[in-house]
């Protein structure tokens, strides 16, 4: 099996951690504490944050519920490891996939929260807290505020650290514009995959938009009963990220012109990660709820929508990985004189025409 690698020949990661990065690392690690404390308490049998009458109280002895809590504790601890990896010298020696994949998943889980939770908070203030029908609450209201605020802080701090790390290690691969992307043996396959991703995006975008606008087609009865402003925001949020992922991969595969390459890559990265992460999570979450619980469940159409979201996100990830791998290979083959040009002075295409027009024409014919 072919390994996709997009490290540059000589990655330049700073050997000294700056004060700003130390602060961001401390913030990211500290923001994990409330969630970890809550999850460890539940694993220990505590009902803190779980109101009387909640179906979750009956789930504390459920094996799936226990496993889900162990998994989420491990995921939050992974944020701590990532924060260290992005700021310590040994982090620059790690294989690309070992950093990229966990960060991609973290991006997918946290990015929608960064967008949706503030909107839910504003809606709650405007409506006086009446953003959903009255029903038995699963968790105390304060739990959502504490947990999602922590997630938001984690996302901002870890995201900033990752952007700085990527700029140091793979910055040259992200410079330039979509017009700089030259033909390659896998370019037709990338375009086919991009079209397939756009087609896959139709189902989640349409269904989540329908549900956000108040439609109930395909929703489980329990989901219909709990609908409100808050759930509409979540649905709209999900549709938005699926659409952004599709737009990003199409721009990357077909884009031509002056669009900066980092734009479709950022859209594809964030939209694809959010689709895959939350699609997978929504498929697995019902396993942690007892069959006789009165909490949310899913329908066949909902499960299909979540599964398609996962496929969409993974397809976008594959297209992006191949694109960057080819960019790295092209850069490795470039003469040193081409790589020495200051960023922003000339695009790669302009540089090739200036230094070796014959070589550029031959590459275009190939």
- Per-domain residue ranges for the chain? 19-333
Per residue in 67-102, pLDDT (tens digit) is 888 999 999 999 999 999 999 999 988 999 999 999
CA distance 348 to 346: 6
The enclosing H or E element of 328 equals helix 300-333
Tell whether the model's pLDDT for residue 131 goes beyond 50: yes
Is the separation of the CB atoms in 92 and 170 below 8 Å?
A: no
Average pLDDT over residues 268-295: 81
- The predicted pLDDT at position 133 comes to 57
Per residue in 207-232, pLDDT (tens digit) is 999 999 999 999 988 788 878 888 99
CA distance 243 to 226: 25
Average pLDDT over residues 188-216: 95
Report helix angle 141-174 to 63-85, nearest 10.
40
Q: What is the largest CA-CA distance in the chain?
A: 76
Mean pLDDT comparison of 21-25, 123-127, 343-347, highest-scoring range? 21-25
CA distance 281 to 283: 5
Report CA 95 to chain centroid distance, whole Å: 20
Residue carrying structure tokens 């294989």:
95
Token digits of residue 310: 């996962």
Report CA 285 to chain centroid distance, whole Å: 18
284 CB-near residues (< 8 Å, 6+ apart): 68
Token digits of residue 345: 């002075």
In the chain, DSSP finds a helix count (H) and a strand count (E) of 13, 0
CA distance 298 to 125: 29
Q: How confident is the model at residue 247 (pLDDT cuts 50, 70, 90)?
A: very high
Is the separation of the CB atoms in 179 and 258 below 8 Å?
A: yes
């Amino acid at each position: 099996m072919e390994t996709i690698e997009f490290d540059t020949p000589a990655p330049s990661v700073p050997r000294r951690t700056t004060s700003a990065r130390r602060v961001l690392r401390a913030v990211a690690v500290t923001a994990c504490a409330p969630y970890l404390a809550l999850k460890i308490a539940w694993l220990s049998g505590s009902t803190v944050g779980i109101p009387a009458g909640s179906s979750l109280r009956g789930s504390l002895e459920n094996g799936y519920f226990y496993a889900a809590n162990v998994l989420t504790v491990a995921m939050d601890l992974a944020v701590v490891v990532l924060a260290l990896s992005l700021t310590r010298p040994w982090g620059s020696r790690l294989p690309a996939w070992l950093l990229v994949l966990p960060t991609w998943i973290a991006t997918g889980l946290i990015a929608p929260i960064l967008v949706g939770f503030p909107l839910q908070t504003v809606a709650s203030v405007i409506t006086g807290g009446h953003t959903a029908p009255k029903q038995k609450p699963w968790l105390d209201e304060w739990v959502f505020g504490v947990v999602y605020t922590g997630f938001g802080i984690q996302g901002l701090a870890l995201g900033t650290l990752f952007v700085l790390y990527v700029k140091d290690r793979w910055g040259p691969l992200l410079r330039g514009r979509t017009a700089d992307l030259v033909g390659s043996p896998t370019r037709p396959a990338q375009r086919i995959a991009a079209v397939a991703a756009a087609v896959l995006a139709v189902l989640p975008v349409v269904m989540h938009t329908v549900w956000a606008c108040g439609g109930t087609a395909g929703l489980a009865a329990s989901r219909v009963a709990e609908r409100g402003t808050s759930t509409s925001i979540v649905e709209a949020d999900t549709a938005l990220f699926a659409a952004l992922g599709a737009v990003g991969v199409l721009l990357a595969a077909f884009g031509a012109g002056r669009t900066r390459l980092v734009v479709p890559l950022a859209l594809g990265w964030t939209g694809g990660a959010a689709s895959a992460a939350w699609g997978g999570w929504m498929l697995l979450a019902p396993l942690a709820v007892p069959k006789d619980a009165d909490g949310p469940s899913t329908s066949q159409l909902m499960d299909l929508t979540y599964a398609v979201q996962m496929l969409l996100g993974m397809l976008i990830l594959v297209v992006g990985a191949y694109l960057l791998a080819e960019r790295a290979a092209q850069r490795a083959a470039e003469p040193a004189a081409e790589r020495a040009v200051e960023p922003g002075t000339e695009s790669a295409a302009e540089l090739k025409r200036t230094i070796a027009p014959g070589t550029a024409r031959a590459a275009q014919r190939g």
